[in-house]
Amino acid sequence: MCSVEIANDGRIEVRGELSFATVPGVRADALRLFSKVRSVHIDLAGVTGADSAGLALLIEWMRESRRLQHNAHFSHVPDALRVIAELSDVDDLLPA
């Protein structure tokens, strides 16, 4: 299970597992929230697990935020996503 919601300070908080099983549902939910914020700050502190589908989702969110002329910013990126990004040679897309 995974959920996304807008926090009081405008961050988009992701909670739960970002996996092949959960990404399709959370993808649409997050994209709806993008239109409600000025800056896309996605807080991943609540992510409990992730696989390559989770990484693909982050890349899609970055693309969508650019389309909306927002800057995407990720915080608290889980180590699992960093490892997958490094193995996929896209680690430069994630914040240090």
Q: Helix (H, G, I), strand (E, B), or coil: what is residue 65? A: helix
Q: The tokens of 19 are what?
A: 């996996």
What's the mean pLDDT when you consider all of the chain? 90
Q: What was the pLDDT predicted at 10?
A: 84
Q: CATH number of the domain at 47, please.
A: 3.30.750.24
Residue-wise pLDDT for 46-74, tens only, equals: 999 999 999 999 999 888 888 888 888 89
pTM, two decimal places:
0.88
Range of the domain at 27: 2-93
Number of domains within the chain: 1
Q: Helix (H, G, I), strand (E, B), or coil: what is residue 34? A: helix
CA distance 81 to 51: 7
